[in-house]
Amino acid sequence: MSSVSEGPRPGRPMSADTDRAVREATEELLAEVGYAGLRMQDVATRAGVGKAALYRRWPSKAALALHHLIGDLRPRDYVDTGSLRGDLAEVAADFVARMAHSRVRAVLPEMMADLLHDGALQAVFEQVCLLPERELITAVAERAVARGELTCLPELRWAHAQFAGPVFLWLTMLGGDGDRELIDRVADSVAASWAYEKERNA
Amino acid sequence: MSSVSEGPRPGRPMSADTDRAVREATEELLAEVGYAGLRMQDVATRAGVGKAALYRRWPSKAALALHHLIGDLRPRDYVDTGSLRGDLAEVAADFVARMAHSRVRAVLPEMMADLLHDGALQAVFEQVCLLPERELITAVAERAVARGELTCLPELRWAHAQFAGPVFLWLTMLGGDGDRELIDRVADSVAASWAYEKERNA
């Protein structure tokens, strides 16, 4: 198990040009051969950098691929709509948009195994994707409590699973669309579940 | 893309002895080296069968591994508890027990990519796992309508995602436990969501 500091360092550029060349090569190859067919050597060759240099910055192809998904995975800014249902729809719309992105949809299921086994990669994923998402959901719940729409905060790790789980399955295994209907379904089901907790606690 | 008929044929035994030997070899190797390290050649050697014979029955290691997960993936018999919440808890308990099984938990995330790309494998998974689950959920919803607890059937593909999605994410990416609390959370959130639909349709 590597520590977080040994993981990829997305904030430290090699050089702007090299970084751009590696990004373009990775995105092109992901589109051409998919995650399973991606080879570090091919990325290095196409980007015109040494394989050793590539490995110094990204210790695995999973880390490299994740780094190039980060822009698509990171949640957008939070919008306060003035109501719980409205806020949930904002967060759901953002979440669905990210998960339905063709690159994320193609690569994320293939990275599942690597994410579960590689501690360093998991730490980056947690930092870039899971934590900011949980913070967004927390902010929505806290505002609802402040407005009196909820009496107490829901269990946030479970709330996160309620948001992310059905969307992930819907877009991958169940072959569904990332449309307005999906966004409303996610917002409705989380709103209903939180209201149910409120009633039970009342 | 292969057609379903070219997929694995779990119902047609090689011979009882050979079948048992292949099962034992596959389970042992999955436990020792995981799905990523599983090799058809190693299964053939340990089971004492030819590699060609192995491939004739299971066209890929994914099909072989899935076949040996089938007993764990197949839903149990349906129990009518007399109430929607009770029935949902039964289905959730069964679902969580299957997904939390150490073998399923270890292998399913690693098979995600294969499941998404291999049409024949997907057809088997659909037949063995997804369809029976959807039928269980349908039966629960139909009884609730018959009892007057619901006014109409929920959208069943989405209901399935609400059941399976959070549990899958909880047990894999979020590192949660498959305990009684999880079962109650799933049952509560689906019950709440269906009741919400009822109110909206009223």
Confirm or reject contact between A172 and chain B (CB < 8 A). yes
Q: Is A19 exposed, middle or buried (0-12, 13-18, 19+ CB in 10 A)?
A: middle
Cβ–Cβ < 8 Å for A2, A119: yes
For residues B17-45, b (16+ Cβ closer than 10 Å) or e, as one string? ebbebbbebbeebbeeeebeebeeebbbe
Contact B166 A170 (CB under 8 A): no
Cβ–Cβ < 8 Å for B104, B73: yes
CA distance A128 to A130: 7
CA distance B156 to B162: 10
Q: Which one-letter amino acid corresponds to residue B85?
A: R
pLDDT in tens, A113-170: 888 888 878 888 888 888 888 999 999 999 999 999 999 999 989 999 999 999 999 9
CA distance B8 to B11: 9
Confirm or reject contact between A106 and chain B (CB < 8 A). no
Least Cα separation, residue A16 to chain B (angstroms): 33
Nearest CA in chain B to A154: B185
Res A10 pLDDT > 60: no
Kindly report the average pLDDT of chain A as a whole number. Answer: 84
Interface test with B, best of A115, A126, A158 (most B CBs within 10 A): A158
Confirm or reject contact between B79 and chain A (CB < 8 A). no
Contact B166 A165 (CB under 8 A): yes
Pick the CATH number of A70-201 from 3.40.50.300, 2.40.50.140, 3.30.460.80, 1.10.357.10: 1.10.357.10
pLDDT in tens, B99-145: 888 878 878 888 888 888 888 788 888 888 888 889 999 999 999 99
Query: Looking at the domain that runs over B7-67, which CATH code has it been given?
Result: 1.10.10.60
Confirm or reject contact between A4 and chain B (CB < 8 A). no
Tokens of A51: 């394989």
Q: Domain A9-61, CATH 1.10.10.60 — does that match?
A: yes
Kindly report the average pLDDT of chain B as a whole number. Answer: 84
A chain contacts of residue B177, beta-carbon cutoff 8 Å = none
- Can you give the residue ranges of every domain in chain A? 9-61, 70-201
Contact A192 B188 (CB under 8 A): no
Res B11 pLDDT > 50: no
Contact B116 A170 (CB under 8 A): no
Confidence (pLDDT) at B65: 84
Res B197 pLDDT > 90: no
Least Cα separation, residue A133 to chain B (angstroms): 13
